[in-house]
Amino acid sequence: MRNLVEISDVVVENFSVGVMKRLGLDYEKCRTLRPDIIFIALPGFGSDGLEAGYAAYGLTQEAMSGLSGITGYPGEIPIDTGVFYGDPTGGLFGATAVMTALWHRSITGEGQRIDLSQREAFASILPELVFDYTMNDRVQESIGNRHPQFAPHGVYPCLGDDAWLAIAVKSDKQFRSLCEAIEHPTLANDLRYSSGSNRLQNQDELDRIIGEWTRQQDQHEAMRLLQSQRIPAGAVLTNQQLLEDQHFEARGFFEEVTHPDVGTYRDIGMPWKLSDTPVHARLPAPGLGEHNDNVLGEILGLTADELCSLEERDVIGNVPLNTRE
């Protein structure tokens, strides 16, 4: 590992605080191996502070970032997203931080250590929580699918088994268009719904009226109808529906990837499209130890005998240790 550090630009680690030092690979040691190294640590709660040694998983990150506290329905327990956004958020912020440090090094020749708290990265994408308290002295609570300022704003049942439509109306103009679309044009002139503040006060009845209409509609047809009137609406899709989505198909979002272990399957493509240099999946996800020969042999320069010795000592390999007979 030390030999790899000597020829590397960046060291990335997300162990608990103290692990890299016990391994003899903390930042100070890596600097002796390569003085201009970029070293990024991504512990759950940062490398110092009262909670530096805390264990972190996606659920705990959501809870301690403030997200769980506003996720769910009024009067019910907090709900996790089921996706655990803390992990990818930390990765995205980490990539940006590394690029910043590399840019600094290209100008000054200096490396540096990056201490990235995944909890802080998560909290930074929830600025409304902070500003609502610092500027309004207000503690946010769970409000389900509703919005604190706009109505109607929710998810409504449609024809079929577990089919739903999300509708978000921001302005009086959009609300008038919605009333026309659901064949209740007089609602727009009803004093209970004639302004945004009035709609907020009468959401239960308004949601009931909209739900009566959506229950008779196919979710996609209703979405297209409302969107044709410039009303923000979207079908709530399952993972199967995502893979079958015609818009994604037209844009070529999903790509076919062939993996030696699982065969050919559709995978998520890049969400950006470059006009001159199209980006596609070059390789499938790597298998365990798949690139040992390339990294340790071709890049680091270990001989075949040295690689065999590492395999015999179970330092490297392509079969998990706990599955070997």
**Residues taking part in catalysis:** 87
Cα distance between the two ends of the chain: 28
| Cα separation values, 204 from 88, 200, 209, Å | 36, 9, 9
Under 8 Å between Cβ of 222 and 229 = no
DSSP state of 94: H
> Distance between CA atoms of 293 and 316, rounded to whole angstroms?
10
Element (H, E) at 301: none
Count CB-CB contacts under 10 A for residue 236.
16
Q: Which residues make Cβ contacts (< 8 Å) with residue 290, sequence separation at least 6? A: 318
DSSP string across 198-244:
HHHHTHHHHHHHHHHHHTTS-HHHHHHHHHHTT--EEE---HHHHHT
Parallel/antiparallel/unpaired status of strands 233-235 and 254-259: unpaired
What is the Cβ-side half-sphere exposure of residue 284, based on CA atoms within 13 angstroms? 15
> Distance between CA atoms of 215 and 196, rounded to whole angstroms?
24
One-letter amino acid at 146 equals R
